[in-house]
Structure 1
Amino acid sequence: MAPNPDSGMITTPPTLEELIRRNPELSRTDLEYLQDWMSKQPHLPKLTDEELVPFLHSNYYSLEKAKRTIENYFTIRTHAPNMFQNRDPLDPEVKKQLALNSISTLSKRDSHGYKILAAAWSNPDPTDMDFEVLMRSYIMTIDQEIRDDPTCPGYVFLLNTTGTSMGHVTKASVSAIKIYLTFVQEAAPVRIKGIHVTHCTPLMETIMRIVKPFLHGELMSLLHLHAGEMEDFYKEYPKDILPQEFGGSLGFLKAMHTDTMKKLVANRSWFLEQDKLLVDETKRPGKAKSAGEVFGLEGSFKKLDID
C-alpha cells in the first residue's frame, strides 16, 4: 500500500486526564452526571467522556445548559442531513465547495488567547456554490478544531466578503440560513467571542435584512461589520496575526487552507464515524420530532425572494 502523503496531518485529541489537568472546572462528577442523564435518553447516541467535554466547557460548566446543547446538537444534525451529515472530506461535493472558499484557523491567537478562524473566497464565482454543502464544510473545519482542542477559551470568526455578490445570496434559502443560525446559536459546542465581517459593500445591508430575524441578541452583540477604514479592527487584531487577505503579514489564507484540507483528509475516518452519531426518533421519550418542529419551518424550502 502506498504511504498516505497526509499521514503527518493525523491528529490525536487530548486524553480526559490531560483535559482535567488543564481545566480545574472540569470534574469527573459532572461527567458522571451527564452520562447518567444520557443513559435515560434512549434516542441520543452514546458518547465518551471526552466527547462530552466540549458541551460542558462551551456552556461554562452549567450542567443544564450542557444537556440542552447536547440535545440540540444531535437533533439538528439528524434533521438537516444535507448540512450536517455525509461529512466525507473526499466527497466530490465537499471538495468542490472547499475549492471555492479558503478557510483555516490561524497560527496565532488574539490578545485574549482566542483562536481565530478566517474565511475568504478563493473563487468568487457563485455558479457552483451550494450553500448547504459549503456550511457543512465550514462546520467540519470547526469540529476538527473542537476535537483537537475541546476546551479552547474562545473563537473569533473573520469573514472577508470581497467578491460576494447577489448571485451568492440567491443561492441560499431562508430555511437553510435559519437552520445554520439555529445550530450556531443553540447547538455548536464552542465559546463564540466575536464575528467580524470585513470589506463590506452595500450588499451587506440586504444580507443583514435576511439574517437579522434569526439572530439572538447575544450573537448580534458579537457581530461587527467593517467597511472602508479598518483601523479600529487592526487595533484589536494586529496585522502580524492576520493573513494577507485581511491586510496582514501572516501569509496567504489560501496556503493555510491547503493544510487545513490535508488535516481533514488525514482524519477522514473520524468524520465518517461521527456521521453515525444521530438521534433515533423512534426511541425518543414521548412524541418523535420532525424537521418542521425542530426548526419551526412551514411549507416548502423556497429560495430567497429579494426585492
Structure 2
Amino acid sequence: MAPNIRELSPALEKIAREELNEDPTQIQQILDQFREWIRKSPHLRARTDDQFLISFLRCSKYSLEKAKQKLDMFYTIREHSPEFFGDRDPDKMNLREFMKISSMIPIPTTWSEGSPRVILARPGGYDPDKFKMEDVMKSFLLINDLLHEEDDQMIIAGQINIVDLKGATLAHFTSFTPQHMKKMTMMMQDASPFRLKAIHYVNVPSFFEKFFNIIRQFLNEKIRSRIYFHGNDFESLFKVIPKHILPKEYGGDGDSMDNITTYWENKIFANRQFLIDQTTKYGVDEKKRIGRPKNPESLFGIDGTFRKLEID
C-alpha cells in the first residue's frame, strides 16, 4: 500500500532523496513502525496520519528515533505552554486587530522550487503597552500549524527567518521571560518539523546585543552558526536572500505586507476548528507516561525576567 502523502515537485523530491534520505520504497514501512510506537506510548494523544508523521521523519532525515523524540517533544511542549497554546480560538484572541500589525508572516514567494520558505518577523511593529511578545508568538504559532499542514516547501527545503528590528525598543522584549525564551528555542530546536537554515537580523538596535546574549545560551551550536547580523545593511542581506521575493515595502516585487497579512488572517479563521483541534484533541497525559513524568520545571526550569537586566 502506498503512503497517503502529497506528490512532491521534482525539485523537492530531489532534496528529499539526496538530503533527507527519503527512499520511496521504504516510506510505508517506516510510517507503520512510527505509528506502532505511538500506539505503544500510552501518554501520547498524537495524530497518526501519513502526511503529519512524514514531516517528522523528513526533518529527522529518516532517523526514526529522532523523529520519535521530536514528535514527543512537539506535544509535550504544547501541553506545558498554555501561554502559547492554551485557548487557541481565533475568535477569542483579538486576532484580527493584532494581525493588522504584520509582526510575523511567511513570504509567499520563494526564489526557486527548492529554496527555503522565508519568514519575516517585525517585533518592533506593535505597541508594547497594548500587546506582548507572547501575542506575537501565539498568533504565529497558528500560522505555523497551517504551514506544517500544507507547506512541503518549508518542511523539505527548510525555513529562513528575517528579523527586522526597526522600531524595536527594550519595552518590546521585557515581558518575555527567560522561560518563554527557553520554550521558544526548544520548540525550534527539539520539537519543530521544520529545518531552520538561517536567521538574519537587520536594523539591530544597540541594546539588542545584551538581550541576544541571553537568547544565545539556549541555542545549540548548529543554530548559533546559522545566525547573521546585518546591522542596517540590507544590501548584505540581499546577497543571501534575493530582494525581488520580498514585499513591496522592502523594495521587492512581492505583494504588500497588508495583502499578505490579510491572506493569513482569512486563512486562520477559515481553519478555526482545525487549529483548535490541534491542542484539544492531541497532546500528552503525563500520568500515563512510562518513566518519570515531565513538568514545566523539569522542562524549562528557569526563573526571572529580562526586566532584571541592566541594559544601557
Normalising by structure 1, we get a TM-score of 0.87
Deviation at 1:116, TM superposition (A): 1.1
Unaligned runs of 5+ in 2: none
Paired residue secondary structure (2:108): coil
**CA shift for structure 1 position 188:** 0.9
| Counterpart contact for 2:105–2:140, Cα < 8 Å | no
**Counterpart AA for 1:46:** A
- Whole-angstrom CA distance in 1 between matches of 2:5 and 2:84: 33
Shift of 1:175: 1.1
Q: Is the 8 A contact 1:119 1:159 kept in 2?
A: yes
Shift of 1:52: 0.8
- Secondary structure at the counterpart of residue 30 of structure 1: helix
Question: How far is 1:95 from its partner?
Answer: 4.1
Alpha-carbon distance between aligned partners in 1 of 2:125 and 2:241, rounded to the nearest angstrom: 25
CA separation in 2, counterparts of 1:273 and 1:60?
Answer: 28
Quickly say closer, same or farther: Cα 1:305–1:96, change in 2 above 3 A: farther
Residue 128 of structure 1: SS of its match in structure 2? coil
Shift of 1:49: 2.3
> For residues 2-151 of structure 1, what are the structure 2 equivalents within 5 Å?
16-19=4-7, 22=13, 25=22, 27-47=27-47, 48-111=49-112, 112-120=114-122, 123-150=125-152, 151=155
CA distance in 1, matches of 2:125, 2:254: 21
Supply the distance in 1 between the matched residues of 2:118 and 2:45 (Cα, whole angstroms): 30
Taking only the aligned residue pairs, the percentage that are identical comes to 27
Q: Look up the match of 1:8.
A: none
Matches of 2:35 and 2:213 in 1, distance apart?
42
Q: State the partner residue of 1:233.
A: 237
- How many residues get paired? 291
Structure 1: state its 5+ residue gaps.
1-14
What is the distance in 1 between the residues matched to 2:53 and 2:127? 40
Q: Does structure 1 conserve the Cα–Cα contact (< 8 Å) formed by 2:5 and 2:50?
A: no
Q: Which amino acid aligns with 1:274?
A: Q
Q: 1:267 to 1:215 in 2, by over 3 A?
A: same
Partner of 1:213: 217
Retained in 2: the 8 A contact 1:94–1:134?
Answer: no
Q: Distance in 2 between matches of 1:100 and 1:231?
A: 25
Amino acid at match of 2:266: K
CA deviations on 1:63-86 (whole Å, 9 max, x unpaired) are 111011011111111011111232
Letter in 1 for 2:309: I
Partners of 1:304 and 1:96 in 2: how far apart? 27
Q: Is the 8 A contact 1:106 1:242 kept in 2?
A: yes
Quote how far apart the aligned CAs of 1:97 are. Answer: 3.9
**Cα deviations by residue, 1:119-178 (Å, 9 ceiling, x for unpaired):** 225843211122223212122212211100244321111121111001112121111111
**CA apart distance, 1:114:** 1.2
Amino acid at match of 2:132: D
Aligned residue for 2:285?
A: 280
Where do residues 256-295 of structure 1 align in structure 2 (5 Å cutoff)? 256-276=260-280, 277-295=282-300
Q: Give 1:5's aligned residue.
A: none
- Deviation of residue 304 (structure 1)? 3.0
Query: Aligned residue for 1:305?
Result: 308
- Aligned CA-pair RMSD: 2.2
In structure 2, the CA distance between the partners of 1:201 and 1:245, relative to structure 1 (3 Å rule), is farther
